Structure 1
Amino acid sequence: MQTQAANHDPLASAVSKARLRLAPFLALMFALSMLDRSNVGFVKQALMVDANIGNAAYALGAGIFFIGYAVFEIPSNLILHRVGARVWLSRIMVTWGLASAAMMFAHDETSFYVLRFILGVAEAGFSPGVILYSTYWFPASQRGKALGVYYFGLPVALVLGGPVSGLLLDVMGGQLGLRNWQWMFIIEGLAASVVGVIAFFYLASKPRDAKWLNADEKTALEAAIAAEDNRKTAHGPATALSALGNWQVLRFVAIYFAIQVSVYGVIFYLPTRISELTGMAIGAKVGLLTAIPWLCALISLRLITGIADARGKQREFAMAMLAMAATGIALSTLGHELVPVLMAFCLATVGFVVVQPLFWTLPTAYLSGTAAASGIALIGALGNLGGFIAPTLKTAVESAFHSQQAGMLALTIAGVVGVLLLMSIGARTRRDSTLRLGSSEAA
């Protein structure tokens, strides 16, 4: 019944085709992005030995990626809006893959900092660019589900990335005179560059460019997106500069910042924590164990985002997921047994993975045009600085209180702050978003 209805409705058919065609490939791109920015967590111990890097230097280097990412985020999104997603997303992916492979040259603290910064510059604008790209293809009432497919890339990267990175570390040591961690960076980085080349030929920037949509589907989809943009312009900022100073955009920045502190505080330290609990070196076995929380997130992602879209309760579900993440992080500090700690990480991971596509339905229902390009980039740029703050904050709190538990509890507090900020979104803003979502469904 649903397929027959889609065949007779050009808009529904276009959205369905776009979701099937674009979202899985974007998820693959995101998976490689997350793998290349987080695989440093698997080589922490080796880097600390081979490059003589201490805990504080590792934390700074892991986080400095986000400084480069933030500085170039807004220009990158504005360029994407001008030249098209096909060209710009492909360019980003090819260059970040090469930058990730270049991490093989890290040999001391300075080179580690420089290479992580360059990686951030190379990848700047990717995820906000995809979020902006989704507004060209999916009406607001369908965007949560589409972004839910895109965010499959996060758990997929760490379900498969953990075992793959661990396997490379196990089997590649000494080949051609390179260390195992150098091979890991080379192979995983060049994989991203290859997919970036494919993306240039696979993606279409706008519905009018898609050869896989018929004329009626192109017209219906572009009309629905244009009507939605007009409604958003009437209620929110209309220009790039007005978006940058808009109070609601700044609130979204703070919420996303809190989410990212929770996310990266766990991503960078999960392999090390599991290694400590099991007494095993980080390799294939630890990689398999770290994959379990991401597998839980993978199973939960589509189900929860679909329910939230169907009920029009994206904000409320986002609050619940971020609260779950904070709870899981707190519980992971209790005890020294593998199973309960792993279960706590499962709770945390489901929460902070699922909250992200739900969160992005809020600013994308508020911003359009160049305001969307700059506003989404600002949210991504400043919000992603949470990834810079997280390892540094965790290390600083641990040193101050002489306790690893204190560092994780600091990340828990960040998640609680994010929940409170989501609660603080005003009734008028929620009402406007609901009206826009309802109008999109009617269209």
Structure 2
Amino acid sequence: MTILTNATAAAAPAVADDQRLNRLLLRKLMPLLIVVYVMSFLDRTNIALAKASMGIDLGLSAAAYGLGAGLFFLTYALAEVPSNLIMHRVGARFWITRIMITWGLLSAGMAFVQGETSFYIMRLLLGVAEAGLFPGVMLYLTYWFDREQRARATGYFLLGVCLANILSGPLGGALLELDGLLGWHGWQWLFVIEGLPAVALAYVVWKKLPDGPASAPWLSAADARDIEQRLNAEKALAPQQSRLSQMFADKQIWLAIAVYFAHQITIYTVIFFLPGIIGTYAALTPLQIGLLTSVPWIAAAIGAATLPRLATSPGRCRTLLFFGLLTMAAGLLLASLSNSFIGLIGFSLTALMLFVVQSIIFVFPSSRLSGNALAAGLAFVTTCGLLGGFVGPSVMGLIEQTTGNTRNGLWLIAALLVLAALISTRLRQGQEP
């Protein structure tokens, strides 16, 4: 009993110190990363609010809009792996700064599209410019947090998506009402005013974001050493694959991709088509549509801020994934059956689990890879998953044009989510057989 008591007493300071370090890392790193992601999502998804007015002013059909929305993800996905490998070599601070400058300028440049062709080209270029941000941050978090804390940190990071979508509705609706000011359409003001701040924020990233614990001015040398020792000890307990050939041969990577693919189809279908679906509920102004569009993202923020912290073991990760995906499917089914504000409740139910699921998915591949394979693997999972960001809006646009009702496509996505839930039960982390 004395031995156990002494061991417990000796371990208590170490646990307290780990908790102190984790709180410090979350406080110092996450606010800036969250703001970066807010900007990112404002700039990649503001065409959802611009859809109706751009369609009238430029003559874009529903199918052309869906294709243009999806083309972003095609080039984004193709550039993910090389972008992450470059970041692994040159450092997060430089590469994320570069990403922000190029995407901010191109997003503002969307104000000058003239028709379908220029719309497609700008969306393709924007995808290349922003490629690597999300998998880059997923890689960056592995430099600071162990597996037990990584899902929580990822959940906080994904709050950026929630905040962006909460803000984008009212902000975008207000900017659209600038229509006619100085001879510009409202959607042109939307792109310029939401695009240029990303360039300014890039300067803050360059000044404030450390490449790793050793270069963080707010960490003592002892704290930086403790973080690196903790991460190295975790790697030693669960030997990881460092060669790209091993990554491609690991069936767990492909299972994670399958789940992420269904997830990405869902999230970008909701992002790009939610404003239009809400617009069918009643005679609403752009500002009213924007305000109602923010409701599901408030639910998403609640989920991202509270539930990922429960994913502290492989079993809990699988349980949260399984029930999270089923909850998302149930919400879409409810939304598809109701052409009223009850449908908004369904979308909110789906949104509640969107970033709970996403924050956990990446724990599985990151637990099985290291070195270049980790950088490439996280980007590869994102690449394949983001093809869902191309497929979802494109298919939904075709369904809307063919049937006259966007909600018909929600049944198909709900079925994919149920299949993904079943696949998630087979996922394993590095130390599991």
TM score, norm. by length of structure 1: 0.91
Which sits farther off after the overlay, 15-24 or 38-47? 15-24
Per the alignment, residue 424 of structure 1 pairs with: 426
**Is 2:280 the partner of 1:273?**
no
* CA 143–8 in structure 1, closer or farther in 2 if over 3 Å, else same: closer
**Alpha carbons of structure 1 residues 207 and 6: separation in structure 2 relative to 1, 3 Å:** farther
Q: Deviations over 1:164-188 (max 9, x none)?
A: 1111112x22233221111110111
Q: Write out aligned runs for 1:202-241 (5 A).
A: 202-232=208-238, 234=239, 236-241=240-245
Question: Partner residue of 2:194?
Answer: 188
Matches within 5 A, 1:148-167: 148-167=155-174
Number of matched pairs: 422
Other-structure match for 1:124: 131
1:321 correspondence with 2:324: yes
Distance 1:119 1:247 in 2: 32
Going from structure 1 to structure 2, the CA distance change for 1:385 and 1:138 (only over 3 Å counts) comes to same
Aligned pair partner of 2:354 in 333, 352, 355: 352
Find the residue that maps to 1:101 and give its secondary structure: helix
CA 1:150–1:302: 2 relative to 1, 3 Å: same
Please identify, of 206-215 and 306-315, the stretch whose mean Cα deviation from structure 2 is larger: 306-315
Instruction: Name the SS of the counterpart of 2:281 in structure 1.
Output: helix
Moved more, 405-414 or 99-108: 405-414
2:176 pairs with 1:169? yes
2 CA distance for matches of 1:251 and 1:368?
18
CA contact (8 A) 2:277 2:406 kept: no
Aligned-pair CA distance for 1:242: 2.8
1:229 deviates by 2.9
Hey, what's the Cα distance between the residues in 1 that align with 2:418 and 2:210? 39
The structural deviation recorded for 1:10 is 4.6
Contact 2:62–2:398 (CA under 8 A) maintained in structure 1? no
Q: Is the 8 A contact 2:74 2:127 kept in 1?
A: yes
Equivalent residues of 1:64, 1:113 under 8 A apart: yes
Mapped partners of 2:265, 2:303: distance in 1: 21
> What letter is aligned with 2:296?
P
Q: Which amino acid aligns with 2:376?
A: S
Whether the 8 Å contact between 1:329 and 1:412 is mirrored in structure 2 is yes
Displacement after TM superposition at 1:6 (Å): 7.5
Contact 1:10/1:220 (<8 A) preserved: no
1:218-243 alpha-carbon deviations (Å, 9 max, x no partner)? 110011112223344x2x42123432
- 2:145 touches 2:231 (CA, 8 Å); kept in 1? yes
Residue of structure 2 aligned with 1:179, choices 182, 185, 196: 185
* Partners of 1:144 and 1:328 in 2: CA distance: 23
1:310 to 1:284, Cα distance in 2 relative to 1, 3 A:
farther
Q: Which residue of 2 aligns with 1:383?
A: 385
- After superposition, residues 24-173 of structure 1 pair within 5 angstroms as 24-170=31-177, 172-173=178-179
Report the Cα offset of residue 208 of structure 1: 0.3
Structural RMSD (CA): 1.9
What residue identity is the alignment partner of 2:279? S
Name the aligned partner's letter for residue 345 of structure 1. Answer: F
Q: 1:335 corresponds to which letter in structure 2?
A: S
Cα deviation, residue 244, structure 1: 3.5
Report the AA paired with residue 243 of structure 2.
T
Taking the aligned partners of 1:280 and 1:401, their CA distance within structure 2 comes to 23
The amino acid across from 1:322 in the alignment is L
Query: Which SS does the other structure have where 1:367 is aligned?
Result: coil
2:156 alignment partner AA: V
Structure 2: stretches of 5+ with no match in the other structure: 1-11
Encode CA deviations 1:138-179: one digit per residue, 9 max, x unaligned: 010111111111011111001111111111112x22233221
Q: Distance between the aligned counterparts of 1:289 and 1:356, measured in 2? A: 24
Partner of 1:438: none
Quote the Cα distance in structure 2 between the aligned partners of 1:403 and 1:100.
29
The answer for unaligned runs of 5 or more in structure 1 is 436-443
The 1:365/1:8 distance shift into structure 2, 3 A limit, reads closer
Aligned 8 A contact 2:277 2:407 in 1? no
Shift of 1:404: 3.4
Aligned runs of 1:235-274 on 2, under 5 Å? 236-274=240-278
Contact 2:65 2:397 in 1 (8 A): no
Q: Do structure 1's residue 296 and structure 2's residue 303 form an aligned pair?
A: no
- Tell me which residue corresponds to 1:334: 337
Q: Distance in 1 between matches of 2:350 and 2:47?
A: 21
The 1:196/1:241 distance shift into structure 2, 3 A limit, reads farther
Inter-partner Cα distance in structure 2 for 1:78 and 1:357:
22
Post-superposition offset of 1:86: 0.8
Q: Is the 8 A contact 1:323 1:351 kept in 2?
A: no
| Post-superposition CA distance 1:314-333 (Å, at most 9, x none) | 12101211111111111101
Q: Which moved more, 1:245-254 or 1:142-151?
A: 245-254
Tell me, yes or no, if the aligned pair for 2:100 and 2:198 is still in contact at 8 Å: yes
Alpha-carbon deviations, 1:350-397, whole Å to 9, x = none?
122221112122222222221110000000111111000001222334
**Contact 1:244–1:378 at 8 Å: present in 2 too?**
no
* Cα displacement (A) at 1:420: 1.7
Q: Give, in angstroms, the shift of residue 399 of structure 1.
A: 5.5
Tell me if the contact between 1:61 and 1:112 (Cα under 8 Å) persists in the aligned partners.
yes
User: Is the CA contact 1:72–1:121 (under 8 Å) kept in the aligned structure 2?
Assistant: yes
How many angstroms apart in 1 are the aligned matches of 2:33 and 2:432? 27
Deviation at 1:312, TM superposition (A): 5.8
CA deviation vs aligned residue, 1:281-338 (integer Å, no higher than 9, x gap): 4x22111111111111212222111223379611210121111111111110112222
